[in-house]
Amino acid sequence: MTLMVCVDASVAAKWVLPEIHQEKALALVSDLEEGGIEVIAPPHLPVEVTNAIHKRVYYQALTPEEGKEALRSFEQFQVSIYALPTLYEEALELARAYQRRTVYDSHYVALAKLLSCDLWTADKELYKIFSPQLPFVKWIGDYQIKKEEDDGRETHSKNSDGGENLPGQDPEPVS
């Protein structure tokens, strides 16, 4: 059986757009690739990431050329798209059960549930709503970046507000 992890558009967009927790999102996808773990998503992930890029261009946070480059960069990431026969019904049921106005985010939760894998999100609302009862829904801010000690030097891990933990200083606990 292949190990897999689902990511939503809020995490995938951070791979190519400068946002809070971008370093953690990039570390997550890198660690998954290095570990031979398949990164998965429902069919609308590329549409949502493209929309996030478009919004940046529309509001002039990116130039049109920077937007195209961000899209080309996103296309380089290996994400397997899964459209299971029961995905849409499961997403509809989750949206109803959790009283969601829209069903888009429920597709990510449904896919992770159906394939018994973790879902990583940077969407605080999605995390707060689903994670208390569905512990496979994970917050990207809690992702622990691996320390590299390739040359014997002490390395620093990042704490949750983006600052560095100094050598010998305990990292902040994950809440």
Going from the first residue of the chain to its last (175 residues), give the mean pLDDT of each consecutive group of 10, the final group possibly shorter.
Answer: 91 98 98 97 98 98 98 98 98 98 98 98 98 98 81 43 36 36
Q: Please tell me the predicted confidence (pLDDT) of residue 163.
A: 44
What's the structural domain count of the chain? 1
Q: Please tell me the predicted confidence (pLDDT) of residue 147.
A: 73
Residue 156 lies inside a defined structural domain of this protein: no
Residues 156 and 168 sit within 8 Å (Cβ to Cβ):
no
Q: Of 68, 70, 106, 74, whose CA–CA distance to 87 is shortest?
A: 106
List Cα–Cα distances, 22 to 29, 145, 162, in angstroms: 11, 12, 10
| CATH number of the domain encompassing residue 96 | 3.40.50.1010
Q: Please tell me the predicted confidence (pLDDT) of residue 1.
A: 56
Residue 151 lies inside a defined structural domain of this protein: no
Q: On the CB side of 91, how many CA atoms lie within 13 Å of its CA?
A: 20
Say what angle helices 45-58 and 64-75 make with each other, to 10 degrees.
Answer: 160
